[in-house]
Amino acid sequence: MGNLHGGSFQAIQEYFQQKECRFCSHSFTSDGIQLLREEPGVLVVRVTCKTCGHPLGVAIVGTTPKPARPQSQHPRDWTKRDKERLVGQPPISYDDVIAAHQFFKDLDTDWHKHLPKTGRAS
């Protein structure tokens, strides 16, 4: 059979070589893992213990990779409220950082007047 799936068959062999035969407790070997059929996105393999000869069975293994998730336009930790407020806003620039630094540097003892008015629990 062709090499349509690249390393997929090798990965399947490595997976089953980590398993043990339930009859003799020996690990399966690569020569006991036979590729029966190759289809786009699917491999069919037969697994047999080469030590005692007992078959594990036939496995139908999907090999199609998961589609890549679209890249998010915002950080993953943003809340719904963050998205509503900030999506579409330009990114913070170097000048914005300098302006914020200057603002904080120039605050006087009455800095609390710059805080938003919110209800406070008594």
> Residue 120: what pLDDT?
61
Per-residue pLDDT of the chain (122 residues; tens, 9 = 90+): 444 445 688 889 999 999 999 999 999 999 999 999 988 888 999 999 999 999 999 999 888 776 777 777 778 888 889 888 888 888 889 999 999 888 888 887 777 777 788 766 54
- Which residues span the domain enclosing 49? 8-62
Q: Is the torsion defined by CA of 57, 62, 63, 69 positive or negative?
A: negative
> Cα–Cα distance between 37 and 34 in angstroms, integer?
9
User: What are the DSSP calls for 56-91, one per residue?
Assistant: EEEEEEE-PPPPPPPPPSS-TT--HHHHHHHTTSPP
Is 69 a domain residue?
no
Is 1 a domain residue?
no
Residue 4 vs residues 38, 40, 68: alpha-carbon distances, Å: 8, 8, 21
> Residue 6: what pLDDT?
55
> Cα–Cα distance between 11 and 41 in angstroms, integer?
14
Is 70 a domain residue?
no
Is 56 a domain residue?
yes
> Cα–Cα distance between 86 and 31 in angstroms, integer?
58
Output the pTM of the full model: 0.49
**Are both 53 and 85 inside the same structural domain?**
no
> Residue 1: what pLDDT?
44
> Cα–Cα distance between 97 and 35 in angstroms, integer?
60
Is 68 a domain residue?
no
- Total domains, the chain: 2
**Are both 58 and 102 inside the same structural domain?**
no
What residues contact 31, with CB distance under 8 A and at least 6 apart? 50
